[in-house]
Amino acid sequence: MLNEQTIMEALKRVLDRDLDKSIVETGGVRDLKIKGENVSLKVALAKTGTPEQMQLQQEIVKILKEAGADSVGLRFDTLSDEELEALGGVEEEPFKGPALLAPDSKTTFITVASGKGGVGKSTVSVNLAVSMARLGKKVGIIDADIYGFSVPDMMGIEERPKVINKRIYPVERFGVKVISMGFFVEDNAPVIWRGPMLGKMINQFFSECEWGELDYLILDLPPGTGDVALDLHTMLPESKELIVTTPHATAAFVAARAGAMAIKTNHEMLGVIENMAYFESKLTGEKEYVFGQGGGTRLAEELKTELLAQVPLGQPEIDEKDFAPSLYDEDHPIGEIYTKVADRIISKYSK
């Protein structure tokens, strides 16, 4: 005849796979009830909702029926943190994702975001990346602005990534490794994809690209707070977020939403760059505030971060031999601003 002692003795053969101890030893057998030949119980495990739980469920039913039960009612619960600690804790599984996203990765992620398009976010991204490379850092950039990819054109990149043994090798220019959606569409064709497909593409930029060792990976996000930006914030273990705005009140207002997303997903606010802050006359040196004043300062205050730079309106000098229409030389006044920002970031986050 079934009794509690018989059942507990039988269940000593059932192991909690994550603790390598029997469910009797862990104290996981709970609410045991016996009515004739019918048995019901609750089993607390280190982890639930796993394939191992399904195997363990079948094992318990089989063992109890062999012990004489006609039917077995079974529910599962999770052991408390205190119980797990007393049992020696659960050994963490080795990380199986892309090396860049591993917990011990030495790469610092910098996401560059804005509330709206047209504020110069990609210009900031490429100039910051190249400035960091000039300062001796190993830098990569992901053009994650899937619908409005522009990084290859801005950097004057004409070649495509190489694929060797099913691995994608980013294009390198000016010391920066680059991957972009623009490399995978023909003749500047529009991208008409839905969220899940875009998320898969972004994931491939991490998992199927040979980045090598990187000190910094800069991600040029799409404007706003859509699917791609949310996927990236969720995917990254942590990142430093740089918000780009113009001085205009509306641009700063909508940029605050992008900053709020970063904060809510536990990413660190790096600072604000106010682009197109003013126009400075070469003849008189007088500054004209074409888009107004104060947007960057107000945004930084709202996000409780700092205003890293105010970048004036300008145009890089075009070198036909080394064509890169959006990159400033080191000795250009605007290039010097980006160098100072890069140096400041490196000094703060260098590992």
Which tens digits make up the pLDDT trace of 192-247? 444 445 556 677 888 888 998 899 999 998 776 555 556 666 677 778 889 898 89
**pLDDT value of residue 53:** 80
Eight-class DSSP state of 318: P
On whether residue 122 sits in a domain, the answer given is yes
> What is the gyration radius of the CA atoms in the chain, in angstroms?
28
Backbone φ and ψ of 336, nearest 5°: -65, -35
**pLDDT value of residue 192:** 44
* Residue that is last in its domain, among 36, 61, 86: 86
pLDDT > 70: what percent of the chain? 85
Please give the angle made by the CA atoms of 69, 70 and 71, to the nearest 5 degrees: 95
Higher pLDDT, residue 264 or 339: 339
* Residue that is last in its domain, among 60, 86, 112: 86
**pLDDT value of residue 233:** 60
Q: What's the chain's length in residues?
A: 351
> 274-317, pLDDT tens digit by residue?
999 999 888 888 999 998 898 899 888 888 889 999 999 998 88
Q: Does residue 243 share a domain with residue 150?
A: yes
The tally of domains found in the chain comes to 2
CATH label of the domain that carries residue 194: 3.40.50.300
**pLDDT value of residue 204:** 80
Q: Does residue 183 share a domain with residue 326?
A: yes
Flag whether pLDDT at 257 surpasses 90. no
Q: Rounded to two decimals, what is the model's pTM?
A: 0.69
Q: Does residue 343 share a domain with residue 254?
A: yes
Q: Which domain holds residue 143?
A: 99-349
| Consecutive H or E run containing 261 | helix 249-264
On whether residue 60 sits in a domain, the answer given is yes
On whether residue 214 sits in a domain, the answer given is yes
Q: Does residue 255 share a domain with residue 233?
A: yes
Q: Does residue 151 share a domain with residue 23?
A: no
* Residue that is last in its domain, among 86, 112, 133: 86
Instruction: Residue 134: name the closest of 317, 351, 340, 350 by CA.
Output: 340
